[in-house]
Chains A and B, each alone.
Chain A
Amino acid sequence: MLSIYKNCSLHSLLARVLPNLQPQIKTAPFRLTLPRKAVILNLMEQIPLFTPLSLTVSDLTRYLRQLMESDDVLRDVWVQGEISNIARPSSGHIYFTLKDQNAALKCVIWKTNALRLRLPLQNGMAVEAHGYISLYERDGAYQLYVDAARMAGEGLLYQEFMRLKARLEAEGLFDPERKRALPARPRRIGIATSPTGAALQDMLNTLRRRYPLAEVLVAPCAVQGEEAPLQIVAALGALDRLGADVILLARGGGSLEDLWAFNDERVVRAVAASRVPVVTGVGHETDFTLCDFAADLRAPTPTGAAVLATPDKTDLLNELNGTLRLLDGAFLDGLDLRRRGLHETVGQLERNSPRDDRQRAFAPAGAQPAGRAAARIRRGHP
Protein backbone atom coordinates (compact mmCIF):
# COMPACT_ATOMS: atom_id res chain seq x y z
CA MET A 1 0.00 0.00 0.00
CA LEU A 2 2.93 2.26 0.44
CA SER A 3 3.95 1.77 -3.12
CA ILE A 4 2.76 5.24 -3.95
CA TYR A 5 5.41 6.71 -1.76
CA LYS A 6 8.04 4.40 -3.06
CA ASN A 7 7.23 5.24 -6.66
CA CYS A 8 7.93 8.86 -6.09
CA SER A 9 10.40 10.62 -3.91
CA LEU A 10 7.90 11.64 -1.29
CA HIS A 11 8.70 8.76 0.95
CA SER A 12 12.41 9.43 1.08
CA LEU A 13 11.73 13.12 1.37
CA LEU A 14 9.57 12.62 4.40
CA ALA A 15 12.17 10.37 5.86
CA ARG A 16 14.72 13.05 5.47
CA VAL A 17 12.66 15.97 6.71
CA LEU A 18 10.78 14.23 9.44
CA PRO A 19 12.83 11.29 10.57
CA ASN A 20 10.50 10.68 13.48
CA LEU A 21 7.66 10.17 11.02
CA GLN A 22 9.35 7.33 9.27
CA PRO A 23 8.36 4.39 11.45
CA GLN A 24 4.80 5.69 11.40
CA ILE A 25 4.71 5.76 7.66
CA LYS A 26 6.11 2.31 7.32
CA THR A 27 3.36 0.83 9.42
CA ALA A 28 0.74 3.39 8.56
CA PRO A 29 -2.69 2.08 7.69
CA PHE A 30 -3.74 2.89 4.19
CA ARG A 31 -5.99 5.77 5.09
CA LEU A 32 -4.20 8.94 6.04
CA THR A 33 -5.44 10.76 9.06
CA LEU A 34 -6.05 14.47 8.81
CA PRO A 35 -2.96 15.59 10.73
CA ARG A 36 -0.76 13.54 8.47
CA LYS A 37 -2.40 14.99 5.39
CA ALA A 38 -1.75 18.42 6.76
CA VAL A 39 1.90 17.54 7.17
CA ILE A 40 2.12 16.47 3.58
CA LEU A 41 0.39 19.61 2.34
CA ASN A 42 2.76 21.72 4.37
CA LEU A 43 5.65 19.86 2.91
CA MET A 44 4.37 20.36 -0.61
CA GLU A 45 4.25 24.09 -0.09
CA GLN A 46 7.82 23.94 0.99
CA ILE A 47 8.90 21.50 -1.63
CA PRO A 48 10.41 23.99 -4.06
CA LEU A 49 12.86 24.86 -1.30
CA PHE A 50 14.25 21.37 -1.26
CA THR A 51 13.87 19.34 -4.37
CA PRO A 52 11.39 19.00 -7.24
CA LEU A 53 8.73 16.56 -6.17
CA SER A 54 5.59 15.43 -7.96
CA LEU A 55 3.20 12.54 -8.03
CA THR A 56 2.39 11.23 -11.42
CA VAL A 57 -1.22 11.53 -12.42
CA SER A 58 -1.37 7.74 -12.44
CA ASP A 59 0.02 7.56 -8.93
CA LEU A 60 -2.46 10.04 -7.58
CA THR A 61 -5.34 8.49 -9.43
CA ARG A 62 -4.48 5.02 -8.26
CA TYR A 63 -4.18 6.34 -4.75
CA LEU A 64 -7.62 7.95 -4.94
CA ARG A 65 -9.07 4.80 -6.42
CA GLN A 66 -7.72 2.71 -3.60
CA LEU A 67 -9.10 5.20 -1.12
CA MET A 68 -12.56 4.89 -2.61
CA GLU A 69 -12.51 1.15 -2.95
CA SER A 70 -11.50 0.63 0.64
CA ASP A 71 -14.13 2.95 2.08
CA ASP A 72 -16.90 1.12 3.92
CA VAL A 73 -19.64 3.48 2.79
CA LEU A 74 -18.57 3.70 -0.82
CA ARG A 75 -18.13 0.01 -1.49
CA ASP A 76 -21.69 -1.01 -0.61
CA VAL A 77 -24.13 1.79 -1.22
CA TRP A 78 -27.66 2.52 -2.46
CA VAL A 79 -27.95 5.78 -4.38
CA GLN A 80 -31.21 7.37 -5.46
CA GLY A 81 -31.65 9.68 -8.38
CA GLU A 82 -33.07 10.11 -11.82
CA ILE A 83 -31.66 8.35 -14.85
CA SER A 84 -30.40 10.45 -17.75
CA ASN A 85 -28.11 9.99 -20.74
CA ILE A 86 -28.61 6.28 -20.75
CA ALA A 87 -26.51 4.49 -23.36
CA ARG A 88 -26.50 0.84 -24.33
CA PRO A 89 -23.57 0.17 -26.65
CA SER A 90 -23.18 -3.17 -28.37
CA SER A 91 -20.79 -4.32 -25.65
CA GLY A 92 -23.85 -5.02 -23.53
CA HIS A 93 -22.79 -2.71 -20.73
CA ILE A 94 -25.15 0.09 -19.74
CA TYR A 95 -23.96 3.63 -19.04
CA PHE A 96 -26.05 6.39 -17.57
CA THR A 97 -25.98 9.36 -15.24
CA LEU A 98 -27.86 9.43 -11.99
CA LYS A 99 -28.76 12.93 -10.99
CA ASP A 100 -30.81 15.04 -8.71
CA GLN A 101 -31.24 18.81 -8.52
CA ASN A 102 -27.72 19.56 -7.41
CA ALA A 103 -25.44 16.77 -8.47
CA ALA A 104 -24.74 14.07 -11.00
CA LEU A 105 -23.12 10.67 -10.74
CA LYS A 106 -21.78 8.55 -13.57
CA CYS A 107 -22.96 4.98 -13.47
CA VAL A 108 -21.95 1.76 -15.21
CA ILE A 109 -23.67 -1.60 -15.28
CA TRP A 110 -21.46 -4.37 -16.60
CA LYS A 111 -23.05 -6.74 -19.07
CA THR A 112 -23.35 -9.65 -16.64
CA ASN A 113 -25.22 -7.47 -14.17
CA ALA A 114 -27.23 -5.79 -16.94
CA LEU A 115 -28.57 -9.18 -17.99
CA ARG A 116 -29.77 -9.95 -14.49
CA LEU A 117 -31.48 -6.59 -14.07
CA ARG A 118 -35.20 -6.96 -13.29
CA LEU A 119 -36.02 -3.33 -13.92
CA PRO A 120 -35.97 -1.99 -17.51
CA LEU A 121 -34.06 1.26 -17.06
CA GLN A 122 -35.11 4.35 -19.00
CA ASN A 123 -34.26 8.01 -19.05
CA GLY A 124 -36.26 10.01 -16.53
CA MET A 125 -36.87 7.02 -14.30
CA ALA A 126 -36.42 7.57 -10.57
CA VAL A 127 -34.46 4.65 -9.22
CA GLU A 128 -32.32 3.43 -6.39
CA ALA A 129 -29.10 1.86 -7.65
CA HIS A 130 -26.85 -0.39 -5.62
CA GLY A 131 -23.14 -0.91 -6.14
CA TYR A 132 -19.72 0.46 -5.28
CA ILE A 133 -17.95 3.69 -6.10
CA SER A 134 -14.69 3.50 -7.92
CA LEU A 135 -12.55 5.53 -10.20
CA TYR A 136 -12.09 5.05 -13.90
CA GLU A 137 -8.43 5.93 -14.11
CA ARG A 138 -8.24 6.68 -17.81
CA ASP A 139 -10.79 9.50 -17.48
CA GLY A 140 -10.09 10.37 -13.89
CA ALA A 141 -13.79 9.99 -13.29
CA TYR A 142 -15.38 8.35 -10.33
CA GLN A 143 -18.49 6.34 -10.99
CA LEU A 144 -21.00 4.00 -9.44
CA TYR A 145 -20.57 0.41 -10.58
CA VAL A 146 -24.18 -0.78 -10.36
CA ASP A 147 -25.12 -4.39 -9.62
CA ALA A 148 -28.81 -3.91 -8.78
CA ALA A 149 -31.53 -1.34 -9.27
CA ARG A 150 -35.05 -0.89 -8.02
CA MET A 151 -37.76 1.70 -8.40
CA ALA A 152 -37.22 4.65 -6.11
CA GLY A 153 -39.16 4.11 -2.92
CA GLU A 154 -39.22 0.34 -3.21
CA GLY A 155 -37.01 0.03 -0.16
CA LEU A 156 -39.51 2.13 1.78
CA LEU A 157 -42.38 0.06 0.37
CA TYR A 158 -40.76 -3.08 1.66
CA GLN A 159 -40.37 -1.64 5.13
CA GLU A 160 -44.00 -0.56 5.05
CA PHE A 161 -44.96 -4.08 3.96
CA MET A 162 -43.15 -5.68 6.89
CA ARG A 163 -44.60 -3.18 9.36
CA LEU A 164 -48.21 -3.71 8.21
CA LYS A 165 -47.72 -7.46 8.09
CA ALA A 166 -46.55 -7.52 11.69
CA ARG A 167 -49.48 -5.39 12.82
CA LEU A 168 -52.17 -7.42 11.04
CA GLU A 169 -50.53 -10.64 12.12
CA ALA A 170 -50.68 -9.49 15.73
CA GLU A 171 -54.39 -8.81 15.25
CA GLY A 172 -54.84 -12.43 14.23
CA LEU A 173 -55.94 -11.73 10.67
CA PHE A 174 -53.63 -14.39 9.30
CA ASP A 175 -54.38 -17.11 11.86
CA PRO A 176 -54.66 -20.62 10.42
CA GLU A 177 -57.89 -21.19 12.40
CA ARG A 178 -59.54 -18.49 10.31
CA LYS A 179 -59.05 -20.42 7.08
CA ARG A 180 -62.18 -22.05 5.75
CA ALA A 181 -62.50 -25.07 3.52
CA LEU A 182 -63.50 -24.35 -0.05
CA PRO A 183 -66.78 -25.80 -1.38
CA ALA A 184 -66.09 -29.10 -3.15
CA ARG A 185 -68.34 -28.24 -6.09
CA PRO A 186 -68.83 -24.48 -6.32
CA ARG A 187 -71.85 -23.56 -8.42
CA ARG A 188 -70.95 -19.91 -8.71
CA ILE A 189 -67.33 -18.90 -8.96
CA GLY A 190 -66.63 -15.21 -8.47
CA ILE A 191 -63.56 -13.68 -10.07
CA ALA A 192 -62.23 -10.30 -9.01
CA THR A 193 -59.56 -9.14 -11.45
CA SER A 194 -58.79 -6.79 -14.31
CA PRO A 195 -61.21 -7.43 -17.20
CA THR A 196 -58.44 -6.82 -19.72
CA GLY A 197 -55.61 -8.81 -18.18
CA ALA A 198 -54.22 -12.14 -19.34
CA ALA A 199 -54.90 -13.45 -15.84
CA LEU A 200 -58.66 -13.49 -16.50
CA GLN A 201 -58.30 -15.46 -19.72
CA ASP A 202 -55.96 -17.94 -18.02
CA MET A 203 -58.50 -18.55 -15.29
CA LEU A 204 -61.47 -18.86 -17.65
CA ASN A 205 -59.58 -21.36 -19.82
CA THR A 206 -58.72 -23.43 -16.78
CA LEU A 207 -62.30 -23.40 -15.50
CA ARG A 208 -63.61 -24.32 -18.96
CA ARG A 209 -61.33 -27.33 -19.08
CA ARG A 210 -61.77 -28.52 -15.50
CA TYR A 211 -65.23 -27.58 -14.43
CA PRO A 212 -67.54 -26.33 -17.20
CA LEU A 213 -70.59 -26.87 -14.97
CA ALA A 214 -69.84 -23.71 -13.05
CA GLU A 215 -71.29 -20.30 -13.51
CA VAL A 216 -68.65 -17.59 -13.44
CA LEU A 217 -69.23 -14.07 -12.24
CA VAL A 218 -66.50 -11.64 -13.24
CA ALA A 219 -66.31 -8.50 -11.12
CA PRO A 220 -63.97 -6.14 -12.97
CA CYS A 221 -61.61 -4.02 -10.93
CA ALA A 222 -58.35 -2.16 -11.34
CA VAL A 223 -55.50 -4.26 -9.98
CA GLN A 224 -52.89 -1.54 -9.78
CA GLY A 225 -52.84 2.17 -9.23
CA GLU A 226 -54.39 4.42 -6.67
CA GLU A 227 -57.99 3.50 -7.30
CA ALA A 228 -57.32 -0.24 -7.24
CA PRO A 229 -57.81 -0.90 -3.50
CA LEU A 230 -61.32 0.54 -3.35
CA GLN A 231 -62.29 -1.18 -6.59
CA ILE A 232 -61.05 -4.53 -5.33
CA VAL A 233 -62.99 -4.10 -2.07
CA ALA A 234 -66.11 -3.19 -4.07
CA ALA A 235 -65.64 -6.21 -6.36
CA LEU A 236 -65.39 -8.57 -3.40
CA GLY A 237 -68.58 -7.05 -1.97
CA ALA A 238 -70.45 -7.41 -5.27
CA LEU A 239 -69.49 -11.08 -5.61
CA ASP A 240 -70.64 -11.73 -2.06
CA ARG A 241 -74.03 -10.09 -2.72
CA LEU A 242 -74.50 -12.07 -5.93
CA GLY A 243 -74.07 -15.35 -4.09
CA ALA A 244 -70.67 -16.57 -5.20
CA ASP A 245 -69.65 -19.80 -3.47
CA VAL A 246 -65.96 -19.02 -3.76
CA ILE A 247 -63.98 -15.97 -4.93
CA LEU A 248 -60.79 -15.94 -6.95
CA LEU A 249 -58.83 -12.73 -6.39
CA ALA A 250 -56.09 -12.59 -8.99
CA ARG A 251 -53.58 -10.56 -10.93
CA GLY A 252 -50.69 -11.25 -13.29
CA GLY A 253 -47.09 -10.67 -12.33
CA GLY A 254 -45.47 -7.30 -11.78
CA SER A 255 -43.08 -5.33 -9.64
CA LEU A 256 -43.54 -4.85 -5.91
CA GLU A 257 -45.11 -1.51 -6.70
CA ASP A 258 -47.46 -3.02 -9.30
CA LEU A 259 -48.73 -5.55 -6.77
CA TRP A 260 -49.05 -2.98 -4.05
CA ALA A 261 -52.86 -2.82 -4.06
CA PHE A 262 -52.82 -6.36 -2.68
CA ASN A 263 -50.86 -5.10 0.32
CA ASP A 264 -53.32 -2.28 0.97
CA GLU A 265 -54.76 -2.56 4.44
CA ARG A 266 -58.34 -2.02 3.23
CA VAL A 267 -58.02 -4.85 0.73
CA VAL A 268 -56.36 -7.20 3.21
CA ARG A 269 -59.10 -6.55 5.74
CA ALA A 270 -61.81 -7.08 3.12
CA VAL A 271 -60.29 -10.44 2.18
CA ALA A 272 -60.09 -11.51 5.82
CA ALA A 273 -63.68 -10.36 6.50
CA SER A 274 -65.22 -11.88 3.36
CA ARG A 275 -68.15 -14.21 4.08
CA VAL A 276 -67.26 -16.11 0.92
CA PRO A 277 -64.01 -18.10 0.97
CA VAL A 278 -61.29 -16.32 -1.02
CA VAL A 279 -58.48 -17.89 -3.06
CA THR A 280 -55.68 -15.51 -4.09
CA GLY A 281 -53.53 -15.90 -7.17
CA VAL A 282 -51.43 -12.77 -7.34
CA GLY A 283 -48.27 -12.40 -9.40
CA HIS A 284 -45.86 -15.28 -9.74
CA GLU A 285 -44.78 -18.19 -7.59
CA THR A 286 -42.30 -16.06 -5.66
CA ASP A 287 -44.56 -13.07 -5.01
CA PHE A 288 -46.22 -12.89 -1.63
CA THR A 289 -48.75 -10.20 -0.78
CA LEU A 290 -50.57 -9.54 2.48
CA CYS A 291 -53.79 -10.65 0.76
CA ASP A 292 -52.19 -14.07 0.34
CA PHE A 293 -51.79 -14.30 4.11
CA ALA A 294 -55.37 -13.17 4.75
CA ALA A 295 -56.97 -15.45 2.13
CA ASP A 296 -58.44 -18.86 2.90
CA LEU A 297 -56.06 -20.31 0.34
CA ARG A 298 -53.09 -18.88 -1.56
CA ALA A 299 -52.35 -20.07 -5.07
CA PRO A 300 -49.03 -19.27 -6.76
CA THR A 301 -50.67 -17.87 -9.91
CA PRO A 302 -54.13 -16.97 -11.28
CA THR A 303 -54.29 -20.32 -13.09
CA GLY A 304 -53.35 -22.06 -9.85
CA ALA A 305 -56.25 -20.33 -8.08
CA ALA A 306 -58.71 -21.66 -10.67
CA VAL A 307 -57.31 -25.17 -10.21
CA LEU A 308 -57.44 -25.11 -6.42
CA ALA A 309 -61.03 -23.85 -6.36
CA THR A 310 -62.57 -26.51 -8.60
CA PRO A 311 -62.86 -30.27 -8.95
CA ASP A 312 -61.64 -31.78 -12.19
CA LYS A 313 -64.11 -33.17 -14.73
CA THR A 314 -62.37 -36.55 -14.63
CA ASP A 315 -62.79 -36.74 -10.86
CA LEU A 316 -66.47 -35.91 -11.21
CA LEU A 317 -66.93 -38.71 -13.75
CA ASN A 318 -65.25 -41.14 -11.37
CA GLU A 319 -67.47 -39.95 -8.54
CA LEU A 320 -70.55 -40.36 -10.73
CA ASN A 321 -69.60 -43.90 -11.71
CA GLY A 322 -68.98 -44.75 -8.08
CA THR A 323 -72.42 -43.48 -7.10
CA LEU A 324 -73.99 -45.43 -9.95
CA ARG A 325 -72.41 -48.61 -8.61
CA LEU A 326 -73.78 -47.79 -5.15
CA LEU A 327 -77.23 -47.37 -6.71
CA ASP A 328 -77.05 -50.83 -8.31
CA GLY A 329 -75.75 -52.35 -5.12
CA ALA A 330 -78.40 -50.74 -2.90
CA PHE A 331 -81.21 -51.86 -5.19
CA LEU A 332 -79.98 -55.43 -5.49
CA ASP A 333 -79.30 -55.62 -1.75
CA GLY A 334 -82.90 -54.47 -1.19
CA LEU A 335 -84.16 -57.30 -3.42
CA ASP A 336 -81.86 -59.67 -1.61
CA LEU A 337 -83.25 -58.64 1.76
CA ARG A 338 -86.81 -59.11 0.63
CA ARG A 339 -86.08 -62.53 -0.80
CA ARG A 340 -84.50 -63.60 2.43
CA GLY A 341 -87.48 -62.29 4.37
CA LEU A 342 -89.79 -64.17 2.06
CA HIS A 343 -87.71 -67.30 2.37
CA GLU A 344 -87.80 -67.12 6.13
CA THR A 345 -91.56 -66.58 6.22
CA VAL A 346 -92.08 -69.49 3.88
CA GLY A 347 -89.88 -71.61 6.11
CA GLN A 348 -91.92 -70.75 9.16
CA LEU A 349 -95.09 -71.40 7.28
CA GLU A 350 -93.85 -74.79 6.24
CA ARG A 351 -92.64 -75.76 9.65
CA ASN A 352 -96.06 -74.99 10.99
CA SER A 353 -97.86 -76.60 8.09
CA PRO A 354 -99.62 -79.91 8.54
CA ARG A 355 -98.42 -80.83 5.04
CA ASP A 356 -94.88 -81.81 4.16
CA ASP A 357 -94.41 -80.47 0.69
CA ARG A 358 -91.74 -77.79 0.84
CA GLN A 359 -91.06 -77.66 -2.88
CA ARG A 360 -94.62 -76.76 -3.63
CA ALA A 361 -94.74 -73.75 -1.37
CA PHE A 362 -91.44 -72.24 -2.50
CA ALA A 363 -90.05 -71.59 -5.93
CA PRO A 364 -92.65 -72.82 -8.32
CA ALA A 365 -91.19 -74.37 -11.46
CA GLY A 366 -89.95 -71.90 -14.08
CA ALA A 367 -89.59 -68.97 -11.66
CA GLN A 368 -85.89 -69.25 -11.01
CA PRO A 369 -84.59 -65.93 -9.72
CA ALA A 370 -81.93 -64.48 -11.96
CA GLY A 371 -78.89 -62.37 -11.44
CA ARG A 372 -76.65 -61.50 -8.59
CA ALA A 373 -79.30 -61.26 -5.82
CA ALA A 374 -80.58 -64.69 -6.69
CA ALA A 375 -77.10 -66.11 -6.60
CA ARG A 376 -76.66 -64.69 -3.14
CA ILE A 377 -79.91 -66.25 -1.98
CA ARG A 378 -78.79 -69.62 -3.30
CA ARG A 379 -75.47 -69.32 -1.52
CA GLY A 380 -77.09 -68.27 1.73
CA HIS A 381 -79.85 -70.84 1.59
CA PRO A 382 -78.75 -74.01 -0.13
Chain B
Amino acid sequence: MTIPATKPVEELSYEEAFAELESIVAALENSQQALEESLALFERGQLLARRCGELLDSAELRVQQVNVRLPGLPEQDAPEG
Protein backbone atom coordinates (compact mmCIF):
# COMPACT_ATOMS: atom_id res chain seq x y z
CA MET B 1 0.00 0.00 0.00
CA THR B 2 1.24 3.48 -0.79
CA ILE B 3 0.15 6.55 1.06
CA PRO B 4 -2.49 8.19 -1.13
CA ALA B 5 -1.97 11.79 -2.12
CA THR B 6 -3.58 13.50 0.83
CA LYS B 7 -4.53 16.98 1.83
CA PRO B 8 -2.78 18.65 4.73
CA VAL B 9 -4.70 17.72 7.89
CA GLU B 10 -5.55 21.39 8.51
CA GLU B 11 -7.83 21.30 5.48
CA LEU B 12 -9.75 18.23 6.52
CA SER B 13 -13.18 18.18 8.07
CA TYR B 14 -13.78 16.09 11.17
CA GLU B 15 -15.49 13.43 9.11
CA GLU B 16 -12.68 13.26 6.58
CA ALA B 17 -9.98 13.25 9.21
CA PHE B 18 -11.69 10.60 11.31
CA ALA B 19 -12.42 8.40 8.28
CA GLU B 20 -8.77 8.59 7.19
CA LEU B 21 -7.63 7.83 10.72
CA GLU B 22 -9.80 4.74 10.75
CA SER B 23 -8.46 3.59 7.37
CA ILE B 24 -4.88 4.10 8.60
CA VAL B 25 -5.59 1.97 11.64
CA ALA B 26 -6.99 -0.73 9.35
CA ALA B 27 -3.96 -0.51 7.05
CA LEU B 28 -1.52 -0.77 9.95
CA GLU B 29 -3.39 -3.74 11.33
CA ASN B 30 -2.79 -5.49 7.98
CA SER B 31 0.94 -4.73 8.21
CA GLN B 32 1.51 -4.98 4.47
CA GLN B 33 3.55 -1.85 4.07
CA ALA B 34 7.25 -1.20 4.31
CA LEU B 35 8.58 -0.01 7.63
CA GLU B 36 9.08 3.61 6.60
CA GLU B 37 5.62 3.63 5.15
CA SER B 38 4.02 2.37 8.31
CA LEU B 39 5.96 4.92 10.30
CA ALA B 40 4.66 7.63 7.97
CA LEU B 41 1.12 6.31 8.36
CA PHE B 42 1.48 6.27 12.11
CA GLU B 43 2.65 9.86 12.16
CA ARG B 44 -0.13 10.93 9.83
CA GLY B 45 -2.62 9.12 12.04
CA GLN B 46 -1.45 11.06 15.05
CA LEU B 47 -1.81 14.33 13.18
CA LEU B 48 -5.30 13.30 12.10
CA ALA B 49 -6.32 12.45 15.65
CA ARG B 50 -5.01 15.80 16.86
CA ARG B 51 -6.93 17.54 14.09
CA CYS B 52 -10.12 15.76 15.16
CA GLY B 53 -9.61 16.79 18.78
CA GLU B 54 -9.03 20.41 17.81
CA LEU B 55 -12.13 20.43 15.62
CA LEU B 56 -14.27 19.05 18.43
CA ASP B 57 -12.96 21.73 20.78
CA SER B 58 -13.37 24.65 18.44
CA ALA B 59 -16.28 23.73 16.17
CA GLU B 60 -19.20 26.10 15.99
CA LEU B 61 -22.55 25.03 14.62
CA ARG B 62 -23.13 26.38 11.13
CA VAL B 63 -26.74 27.35 10.58
CA GLN B 64 -28.20 28.27 7.26
CA GLN B 65 -31.75 29.11 6.32
CA VAL B 66 -32.85 27.63 3.04
CA ASN B 67 -35.47 28.85 0.61
CA VAL B 68 -38.55 26.75 0.48
CA ARG B 69 -40.26 27.25 -2.83
CA LEU B 70 -43.96 26.74 -2.76
CA PRO B 71 -45.70 26.32 -6.05
CA GLY B 72 -48.28 29.08 -6.26
CA LEU B 73 -48.18 30.00 -2.59
CA PRO B 74 -46.63 33.05 -0.96
CA GLU B 75 -43.93 32.35 1.56
CA GLN B 76 -45.02 33.15 5.06
CA ASP B 77 -43.67 33.01 8.53
CA ALA B 78 -45.67 30.82 10.81
CA PRO B 79 -47.24 31.90 14.03
CA GLU B 80 -46.72 29.44 16.80
CA GLY B 81 -49.06 28.88 19.68
Please state if A221 and B53 are interface contacts (CB–CB under 8 Å): no
Size bracket, chain A contacts: 35 or more
Please state if A213 and B56 are interface contacts (CB–CB under 8 Å): yes
Please state if B42 and A251 are interface contacts (CB–CB under 8 Å): no
Please state if A213 and B14 are interface contacts (CB–CB under 8 Å): yes
Please state if A252 and B81 are interface contacts (CB–CB under 8 Å): yes
Q: Known: A223-B80, A252-B80. Is A327-B45 also a contact (CB below 8 A)? A: yes
Please state if A330 and B25 are interface contacts (CB–CB under 8 Å): yes
Contacts of B14 in A (CB 8 A): 213
In the assembled complex, B65 has its CB within 8 A of some CB on chain A: yes
Please state if A195 and B46 are interface contacts (CB–CB under 8 Å): no
Number of B interface residues at 8 Å Cβ cutoff, please give it.
Answer: 44
In the assembled complex, B28 has its CB within 8 A of some CB on chain A: yes
Q: Known: A242-B66, A320-B18. Is A222-B52 also a contact (CB below 8 A)? A: no
Tell me the residues in window 194-216 of chain A with beta carbons closer than 8 Å to chain B beta carbons.
194-199, 204, 207-208, 211-216
Q: Which residue of B lies closest to A216 (CB)?
A: B63
Please state if A196 and B78 are interface contacts (CB–CB under 8 Å): yes
Q: Give B77 Cβ to nearest chain A Cβ, in Å.
A: 5
Tell me the residues in window 50-81 of chain B with beta carbons closer than 8 Å to chain A beta carbons.
52-53, 55-56, 59-71, 73, 75-81
**Bound CA span A254–B31, Å:** 60
Please state if A224 and B42 are interface contacts (CB–CB under 8 Å): no
Q: Give B69 Cβ to nearest chain A Cβ, in Å.
A: 7
Please state if B25 and A327 are interface contacts (CB–CB under 8 Å): yes
Please state if B81 and A254 are interface contacts (CB–CB under 8 Å): yes
Q: List 20 A-B contacts (CB under 8 A).
A: A194-B79, A195-B78, A196-B80, A208-B61, A213-B59, A214-B62, A217-B65, A219-B65, A224-B80, A227-B76, A228-B78, A231-B70, A234-B68, A234-B71, A313-B56, A316-B56, A320-B49, A327-B25, A330-B28, A338-B35
Besides the known contacts A212-B59, A331-B38, 12 further A-B residue pairs in the complex with CB atoms under 8 A apart = A195-B77, A196-B79, A197-B78, A221-B78, A227-B73, A228-B78, A231-B70, A254-B80, A320-B18, A320-B56, A323-B21, A333-B31
Contact residues of A with B, CB < 8 Å?
185, 187, 194-199, 204, 207-208, 211-225, 227-228, 230-231, 234-235, 238-239, 242, 251-255, 258, 313, 316-317, 320, 323-324, 326-327, 330-331, 333-334, 337-338
